[in-house]
């Protein structure tokens, strides 16, 4: 049963257009002059023209980076983070799912540093608990997600993630389990295809799954966990906080085969039976507070399926409750560093 999550709710970098606007509702861009120039320069838009240049860092960045593919979305400012960076929002019309919904985005200060202008950045798709509609509460600044990632990245505890915050469900009536439930909105396709395609269109990303992860609370943790286990070729890691580990939407009634195909326990069982493989290994960082239920369930999940390609870690948060504030603390206590160690970092120019 889904547990509703309580809605507890450096200087600007030169050359960044994203830091030039201030008020909520004003236009905001995540372009940078070097990236814009590269996109306009023939081969560099694909990250390929620097290959073979003799500069090891440039060649590595070119081989691994996908420059923004376009078309560019129009963003407006939702919030301003303590370091001056902006959280933007836009409406995405999902071409593959057919669903239209809001998506909030944030890029870390390093994204606008000229030394990273030709490098991709890792992406963290952050999902809320509860229905997550019409807003994704991670877009607020009260929970300190973006400011914490900014701080942790400077301390070496975290990669400087691009944080992407789509709506979780198409309405506030049901949970859709981040899945393509027959006869319903295709929220699985929205989450694992349309949203990543949108990020690639607007940001410098990495071509491989090494640059893609989820983070979620409660119902959002279920969706992130299931998405990584179902698509280990696309996503490498997840921070799953207070998650359910089986689907339980009432909309699955009459669709048992499809429900089973979106069951994290069944997906983990199948994946864990395979030999460890760097191309398939997934990193599941579980979090749970000592004041909430579900700890034994997570321990059993780890015991049963934490083998082969399924790598696991459990952060038990002392005095933690089933809420977002608890989970941000847990991320800082070790979860964000653990997944960061297994993902692709931005590549600075030499």
- Inform me whether the pLDDT recorded for 6 exceeds 60: no
For residues 73 and 198, the answer to whether their CB atoms sit within 8 Å is yes
- Inform me whether the pLDDT recorded for 292 exceeds 70: yes
Cα–Cα distance, 117 to 204 (Å, whole number): 9
Q: Looking at residue 36, what is its pLDDT?
A: 46
> Which pair of structure tokens corresponds to residue 292?
């909430």
b/e 299-315 (16+ beta carbons within 10 angstroms → b): eebbeebbbbbbbbbbb
Tell me the pLDDT band of 53, cut-offs 50, 70 and 90. Answer: low
pLDDT above 90 covers what percent of the chain?
Answer: 83
For residues 264 and 222, the answer to whether their CB atoms sit within 8 Å is yes
Q: Looking at residue 16, what is its pLDDT?
A: 33
Following DSSP, what letter does each residue of 60-115 receive, concatenated?
A: HHHHHEE---SPPPPEEEEEE-TTS-EEEEEEEE-TTT--EEEEEEE--GGGG-GG
Q: Looking at residue 157, what is its pLDDT?
A: 97
Closest CA to 308 of 269, 342, 282, 272: 272
Tell me the pLDDT band of 52, cut-offs 50, 70 and 90. Answer: low
- Inform me whether the pLDDT recorded for 33 exceeds 90: no
Closest CA to 21 of 74, 88, 96, 101: 88
- Inform me whether the pLDDT recorded for 44 exceeds 50: no
Cα–Cα distance, 210 to 120 (Å, whole number): 11
For residues 314 and 286, the answer to whether their CB atoms sit within 8 Å is yes
């Amino acid at each position: 049963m889904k547990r509703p999550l309580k809605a507890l709710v450096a200087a600007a970098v030169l050359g960044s257009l994203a830091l030039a606007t201030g008020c909520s509702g004003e236009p905001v861009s995540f372009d940078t002059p070097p990236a814009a120039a590269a996109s306009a320069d023939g081969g560099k838009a694909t990250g390929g023209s620097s290959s073979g240049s003799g500069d090891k860092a440039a060649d590595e960045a070119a081989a691994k980076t996908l420059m923004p593919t376009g078309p560019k979305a129009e963003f407006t400012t939702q919030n301003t983070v303590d370091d001056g960076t902006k959280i933007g929002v836009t409406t995405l019309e999902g071409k593959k799912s057919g669903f239209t919904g809001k998506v909030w985005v944030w890029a870390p200060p390093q994204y606008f540093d000229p030394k990273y202008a030709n490098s991709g950045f890792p992406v963290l798709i952050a999902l809320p608990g509860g229905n997550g509609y019409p807003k994704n509460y991670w877009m607020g600044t009260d929970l300190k997600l973006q400011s914490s990632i900014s701080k942790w990245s400077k301390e070496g505890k975290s990669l400087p993630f691009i944080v992407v915050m789509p709506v979780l469900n198409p309405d506030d009536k049901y949970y859709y389990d981040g899945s393509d439930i027959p006869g319903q909105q295709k929220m699985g396709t929205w989450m694992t295809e349309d949203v990543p395609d949108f990020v690639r269109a607007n940001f410098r990303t990495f071509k491989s799954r090494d640059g893609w992860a989820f983070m979620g609370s409660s119902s959002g943790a279920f969706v992130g966990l299931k998405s990584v286990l179902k698509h280990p070729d696309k996503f490498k890691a997840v921070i799953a906080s207070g998650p359910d580990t089986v689907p339980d939407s009432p909309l699955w009634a009459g669709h048992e085969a499809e429900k089973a195909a979106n069951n994290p326990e069944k997906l983990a069982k199948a994946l864990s039976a395979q030999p460890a493989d760097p191309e398939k290994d997934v990193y599941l960082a579980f979090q749970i507070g000592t004041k909430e239920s579900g700890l034994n369930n997570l321990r059993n999940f780890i015991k049963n399926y934490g083998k082969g390609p399924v790598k696991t870690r459990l952060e038990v948060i002392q005095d933690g409750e089933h809420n977002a504030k608890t989970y941000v603390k847990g991320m800082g206590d070790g979860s964000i560093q653990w997944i960061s160690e297994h993902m692709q970092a931005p590549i600075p120019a030499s």
